[in-house]
Structure 1
Amino acid sequence: MSHAAPRPLSVSARGPLRGTLTVPGDKSISHRALMFCALAVGESRIRGLLEGEDVMATAAAMRAMGARIDRDADGTWRVHGVGVGGLLQPEQALDMGNSGTSTRLLMGLVSSHAITATFTGDASLSKRPMGRVTEPLSQMGADVRSSPGGRLPLMVRGLCPAVPITYTLPIASAQVKSAVLLAGLNTPGITRVIEPVPTRDHSERMLRGFGAEVTVEDSPEGKIISIHGEAELKPQTIEVPGDPSSAGFWMVAASIVPGSEIVIHNVCMNPTRTGLITALKLMGADIVEIDAREVGGEPVADLRVRHAHLKAIEVPADLAPSMIDEYPILFVAAAVAQGRTVARGAHELRVKESDRIAAMRAALEAAGVQCEEFEDGLAIQGSAGAPLAGGGSVASLLDHRIAMSMTVAGLAAAAPIAIDDVSPVATSYPDFFETLHALTGAAQ
């Protein structure tokens, strides 16, 4: 899965955002839906699947391990699963492109099957640490051979039957938690994960929906998530709600561009994913939930967002697990707020698709924003609602969230912001720029 040719873009202010939109299906849920459907016996259907490059990497990997996955003309995906324990030996390396979620969760799946899989990825993914996942999987009996530094390419030779473990997460990571739980699916006995800090719980919710025996209980050490192995998953019809991470770009854009008013339909409101909304409301954002409901076991709502005069805050560090992917766009909101916003406790940003702390500091400074960098975050001096200076050049570093965040910054800048490459946006939000043009009434 080679990276697309660079696509430079110059972004300038173009007036208020108005209208209604639906964001792509939630990326975390889309990955899991494909994996769990591929492990059920029979045909499952998925509607609203995110069709970005990251999720397509998951689909390709599950096909390579025996599942039949087809897309109907109406956008419904049909998945004929192989059953837990039924994964086949892939004939060649699994190319994960830029998708860390695909890589880490699939490593978990492979670990308790009697197969061997080699994982490769693009330049960005190959820099990301995998040791946090390989450590517990090795405890379960998997044989993992990685490149120096615990990075890709790496090979996982699964053990069947694997060994159930009780594992306490050393860092707040839904990917590590999910990898261990997925390894536990085909492991006799009970596999347990203890998470001292709650993380997104899509795996637990969805596995229960497929018929796995998953329990969650509180303890002095944190939440204990237990899965009973050698599960039999039953086919399902999945409705994927809109991705709150994708919605975040429009929430901030409408908040910082005067005269804006938008409604974002069908946004996942899982409480482990709404940290950005909480932070923006603390800053004074005008975000109203409409028609709260439940879709496929996940809370969902429509969000009406209007322009507001944002004020700086000290971002509560305990929000980090529920908004770790949204910090880049929160930094843009802070750049236009009144006062000095301080966001700390986000060490994980250093090991995302890029070092998002350093990348956003450099990008915002290129747009004329004063920043102070910490090991675990940024302090940002806002413009008090005045346009950003703009006029600089930004490196996206193959990171879709840097590219989209700085596109939003360009909407509130006095001079255009030049982004060296926005092609990575296709990994998570293929229609991002079409939506931008529709909301601003600008010609493409």
Structure 2
Amino acid sequence: MSSTLAAGHAGAVANPRSRVILASLIGTTIEFYDFYVYATAAVLVFPHLFFPAGNDTTALLASFAIFGAAMVARPLGAIFFGHLGDKRGRKVTLVGALLTMGVATFLIGLLPTFHQVGWLAPALLVVMRLAQGFAIGGEWSGAALVATENAPPGKRAVYGTFPQLGAPLGFILANGLFLLIAAILPSEDPTRPSDAFLEWGWRIPFLFSIIMVAVGLWVRLHLVESTAFTKTVSDGKVHKLPLASVFRTHRRQLVLGTFYMLATYVLFYLMTTFSLSYGRAGTGAALPGLGYDYTTFVLMMIIGVVFFGIFTMLSGPWADRWGRRRTLIAVTLAIIAFGLTWVPMLAAGPVGVMAWLILGFSLMGMTFGPMGALLPELFPANVRYTGSGIAYNVSSILGAAVAPFIAIALWSWGGGSPFWVGVYLSAMAGLTLIALLIGKETRDVDIEA
């Protein structure tokens, strides 16, 4: 087989496979890098710098509230960039989404603090976070379409895992950089970053993102359109208003796609944002947790994220062989069981905590990987960018925007026990299971239709 993908119809220009893989992977890597940088700062830095001194729990919740604000903007971004992607093409839309994300993340690294400008500081943080969410709304679906619409026959789920790999890679890059800075600027108090870290060190990961964005833009500017989109244009099937069309003719797919992603989102944000809060909280804190120092627990998380990446890659061949629906039903059942085992696992000491992280991140890879193919396959090519983007990003509100907030509330309500947080995960996975049982297999759909 040649080094380029076969064109779907006469006269089409193909993207080299290496370019498809890199273009779909690098954008989501930057997207998740930006997410993890913010998520880590939301736990480690922002409660100290962007809110008035007082109750630590209130400051943490306020920081998470701004974190969740981006999720509210994501469906708006999905509509805007989805419209462009379905009318003007995947390439130009992906470039615009990546540029918006990069500028917003870079500017967060330049923001003044509450001590300097008062309430203007969190207000500006909200604006930048909304811009991030707006950009993310168009990033994932475009990257997934680049991968799946350029995939060889029978390999769509495998290719669909490449944008998903951006999640573990982004985590390792973001947290690795924070660990390096924390090591260079050590703190004598393990419960609080050093003064130098709080003054300027935390800004470095945000400013560094502009370099990654420049690389991503260079790769994406060399893409050509997929045959699925060019065929839609040549056949005269481009809709004037893709949003109206997708709601008129594909409401069922929108609802199912939203709930397909629900367990994935809840698990993802519990295993990253919440776990970092719970892992670092000491027995004397307002909400007692595991009491690990920041460096130790993040290193344990990185080990878990390695398994996230491994099982993301494995999930693609499984979903191509056994089907998306059958694979995800089995994984979702496992997530339900996992949520009910949090207390005994976390009470088993360091070995149990490490096993909890590895199992949670492994399940994350298995449920997240097939989504890169499944959501695009729910919609025809002329509304695919809009439809997959809306489903993915509306689910971010139901799962991601509220998950850290609900988790903190349940953690507090349970007197510091993670039991009800795990039950919450199982309940949300139960809703995903129902959607999967109602839905149909999409493995054999015509991606160019």
If the length of structure 2 is used for normalisation, what is the TM-score?
0.23
Please identify which structure carries the higher helix content.
2
**Greater RCO, CA 8 A, separation 6+:** 2
If the length of structure 1 is used for normalisation, what is the TM-score?
0.24
